[in-house]
Amino acid sequence: MEYDTLLTREEGGIGTITLNRPEVMNALNKQMRAELTHALKEISARVRVLVLTGAGRAFCSGQDLGDGGNAAQIDLERTLREEYEPMLRAIYDAPVPVIAAVNGSAAGAGANLALAADLVIATESASFIQAFSRIGLIPDAGGTWFLPRQIGFARAMGTMLLADRISARQAADWGMIWEAVADSQFESQWQARAATLAAGPTIAYRNIRKALRKSLSNPLDTQLALEAQLQAEAGKTRDFQEGVMAFLEKRPAQFEGR
């Protein structure tokens, strides 16, 4: 399917979705939110890893405040519930690992769109800004859920109240993202990470993501039981058999995702 606000590509088990409104720093308008939700669901069902990135000099500048007329008259609750929530759930619930390759500024909802991914790889010139308080709003698009879990309560509070620009290097040091990469190496690095995941054991990846997310709210006994359940599933896969044989034969494993 072709999209007006996105570029998509599927190759070698890697699906890439590029936000493609560079003239407005890939700001999220109604059409882009709908197209991105659809693309995330459709493409993730066919690939082994999904990459989300941006065209031009920004990853995503957040909500397009010029979309739909007077921004002050937008029904924010409806927009978040009906348009943002499905988009974020499509990332969070994807059946494969999701990488956000942050090629430039990620502000407001754009920052939190990136933080919904499993791995965030950013170019060193990129930055993250919880810009909401600058226009009299609170962080949304999952920011109040993601950030405290990633960087702790105090830092999350500071980034939201002060709306400071957080460099990619600082974000990596804080644990907000996985890594900050020199601009000259950025594209080859995220492509290499995507290729590694695409060649990996997809069922194990799915269960790792599930176990870690449940650990944030489960007591220890419940988490141990979940580990046993998910490990039993992984132990019945061909990938586990292949992984053991490859280890014993001292060769790289050839995982099939089964």
Quote the pLDDT of residue 209: 96
| Residues 47 and 116 grouped into a single domain | yes
Quote the pLDDT of residue 67: 76
| Residue 24 belongs to domain spanning | 6-198
| Residues 146 and 234 grouped into a single domain | no
| Residues 119 and 236 grouped into a single domain | no
The model carries a pTM of 0.94
Q: What is the pLDDT along the chain (258 residues), one digit of tens a residue?
A: 889 999 999 999 999 999 999 999 999 999 999 999 999 999 999 999 999 999 999 999 999 988 766 666 678 899 999 999 999 999 999 999 999 999 999 999 999 999 999 999 999 999 999 999 999 999 999 999 999 999 999 999 999 999 999 999 999 999 999 999 999 999 999 999 999 999 999 999 999 999 999 999 999 999 999 999 999 999 999 999 999 999 999 999 999 877
Is 94 within the bounds of a domain?
A: yes
Q: Which residues have a Cβ under 8 Å from the Cβ of 128 and sit 6 or more positions away?
A: 102, 106, 107, 111, 114, 115, 122, 159, 165, 166, 168, 171, 176, 177
| Residues 175 and 215 grouped into a single domain | no
Is 258 within the bounds of a domain?
A: no
d(CA 29, CA 74) in angstroms, rounded, equals 12
d(CA 161, CA 138) in angstroms, rounded, equals 9
Quote the pLDDT of residue 141: 94
* 191 phi, psi to nearest 5 deg: -65, -40
| Residues 70 and 167 grouped into a single domain | yes
| Residues 83 and 133 grouped into a single domain | yes
Residue 195 parent element (H or E): helix 186-198
| Residues 158 and 234 grouped into a single domain | no
Number of structural domains found in the chain: 2
Domain-ending residue, one of 166, 181, 198: 198
Is 231 within the bounds of a domain?
A: yes
Quote the pLDDT of residue 258: 72
Long-range contacts for 129-132 (Cβ within 8 Å, ≥24 apart)? 129/105, 129/163, 129/164, 129/165, 129/166, 130/159, 130/160, 130/163, 131/62, 131/107, 131/163, 132/108, 132/160, 132/163
CATH for 78: 3.90.226.10
202 touches 253 (CB < 8 A): no
pLDDT, tens only, 162-190? 999 999 999 999 999 999 999 999 999 99
| Chain position carrying tokens 């061909």 | 238
Is 32 within the bounds of a domain?
A: yes
| Residues 30 and 88 grouped into a single domain | yes
pLDDT, tens only, 50-96? 999 999 999 999 999 887 666 666 788 999 999 999 999 999 999 99
Is 121 within the bounds of a domain?
A: yes
| Residues 134 and 231 grouped into a single domain | no
129 touches 170 (CB < 8 A): no
Quote the pLDDT of residue 69: 61
